[in-house]
Amino acid sequence: MTSRALLRSATLVTTALLISGLAACSTGGAADPGTGSGDTGSGTSVDAATATSAEDFGGMDELVKAAQEEGQLNVIALPDTWANYGEIISGFEEKYDITVNSASPDASSAEEIQAADNLKGQDTAPDVFDLGTAVALASTDYFAPYQVAEWDSIPAENKDPEGLWVNNYSGIMSIGYDSDKLPEPKALTDLLGSDFTGAVALNGDPTQAGAAFAAIGSIAALNGGGVDDFGPGIDFAGELRQAGNFLSLDPTPATIASGETPLVFDWSFNNVAAAADKPSWKTTVLPGAAYVSFYNEAINKDAPNPAAARLWQEWIFSDEAQALFLEANAVPVRVDALTKAGAADEKLISQATFGTDSADWVSPTQEETDAANALLTERWATTVQ
């Protein structure tokens, strides 16, 4: 569980504290032109910043050499407990002997893009992004096209044709709850009862945070609406507030452990992970439509370590890293390919999907996301205040 809920609004909200903090961490120096915009230094003449596949380096071995000469990778907004990123980062470091610098793990998607603006030309700028769909589609001018070796096994609907962004993993929108304090909710309307007074929280503000946005989408789909109509989700939040059951506190591992946020709508992989520190924390998916939304991997076109950024992309979509997502109850985009190759445990797949399948899944299109954002912007604050 983390507040690193990705921003779903195309409007990039100014976060001065984050920006000043990032700037304070910066060395203030420009990126090395030998790695950021020219020769990789690996003995080849390829411009790593314009390479669109490993073949541009002369193959994977040459890409690895170029990335190792850079020696580091800058990531942002990747908490260790989010979708198993702690293990994924460690695996990359161990496999390639490249140091990963992880900045602002609880930042939002919008703040990732702000950091790219604020730190452009500096060696602390993010090399890669992990973004919610709305921000990814609104920010393609920031991305460098790249197609990984496993490109053909990624479904066409889960990637930009040029490789500007590629879906990497998803979760199922779920309810996490403290079973020592609360009964298991069996239906959405249960949450309006006195058992849940002051208990129901979202992971962030749905006008800014992807997990909270998805929660309202999920609630809407379970309350007679759908991904094309968030109104019933907003209305239900209003009913929770009127019943005294809506909790505006942003959940964190600490608030869950302390009991301050006893029930949280969040991605399944976050709620499952919370049980490590709170054994009484249980995760359930309510019957009905299951809300699913993939996150997006992208390379910063101004990456200070462009070869390492491309190697990271290769790592993320490898069988090994995709299986690491699965181990944390996140659904990797290449799950079908992993299953076919015998590289994924079917039990883990069932656990990650909570027994649902694509026939149960709902997720908004970009047009529906834009409409939902507009409605949330118009109604959210007055509904929950």
- Share the mean pLDDT of the chain: 87
Is residue 44 situated within a structural domain?
no
Computed from CA positions of residues 9, 240, 357, 359, in that sequence, does the dihedral angle turn out positive or negative?
negative
Q: Can you tell me the distance from the alpha carbon of 119 to that of 334, in angstroms, rounded to the nearest whole number? A: 33
Please name which of 135, 4, 136 lies closest in space to residue 79, comparing C-alpha atoms. 4
CA 270 vs. chain centroid, Å, equals 11
253 shares a domain with 208? yes
Q: Can you tell me the distance from the alpha carbon of 357 to that of 151, in angstroms, rounded to the nearest whole number? A: 23
379 shares a domain with 274? yes
161 CB burial (10 A radius; 0-12, 13-18, 19+): exposed
261 shares a domain with 240? yes
Distances (CA, A) of 262 to 151, 182, 268, 354: 41, 8, 16, 21
Q: Can you tell me the distance from the alpha carbon of 57 to that of 66, in angstroms, rounded to the nearest whole number? A: 8
Is residue 333 situated within a structural domain?
yes
Q: How high is the pLDDT of residue 385?
A: 82
249 shares a domain with 299? no
305 shares a domain with 195? no
Pairing of strands 290-291, 361-362: parallel
Q: Is the pLDDT of residue 47 over 90?
A: yes
228 shares a domain with 365? yes
pLDDT tens, residue by residue, 229-253: 999 999 999 999 999 999 999 999 9
pLDDT tens, residue by residue, 287-322: 998 999 889 999 999 999 999 999 999 999 999 999
Higher pLDDT, 22 or 215: 215
The amino acid sitting at 359 is A
149 shares a domain with 87? yes
328 shares a domain with 285? no
Count how many domains the chain has: 2
- In 282-294, which positions are buried (b, 16+ CB within 10 angstroms) versus exposed (e)? bbbbbeebbbbbb
372 shares a domain with 246? yes
122 shares a domain with 102? yes
Ramachandran region, residue 382 (left: φ > 0; alpha: ψ -120 to 50; beta: rest): alpha
Copy the structure tokens of residue 332.
């990797």
- CA within 13 Å, CB half, 145: 6
Percent of the residues in the chain that have a pLDDT greater than 70, as a whole number: 89
Is residue 24 situated within a structural domain?
no
Is residue 218 situated within a structural domain?
yes
What is the full DSSP assignment across 242-256? HTT-EE-SPP-HHHH
CATH classification at residue 370: 3.40.190.10
Pairing of strands 200-202, 263-267: parallel
161 shares a domain with 140? yes
Q: Is the pLDDT of residue 269 over 70?
A: yes
Range of the domain at 85: 51-170+294-353
Is residue 45 situated within a structural domain?
no
Copy the structure tokens of residue 203.
């992971």
311 shares a domain with 162? yes
Q: Helices 85-96 and 306-316: crossing angle, nearest 10°?
A: 120
Is residue 89 situated within a structural domain?
yes
- CA dihedral 342→348→354→357, nearest 10 degrees, is -10
Is residue 60 situated within a structural domain?
yes
Is residue 13 situated within a structural domain?
no
- Looking at the DSSP bridge assignments, the partners of residue 202 are 265
CA 343 vs. chain centroid, Å, equals 23
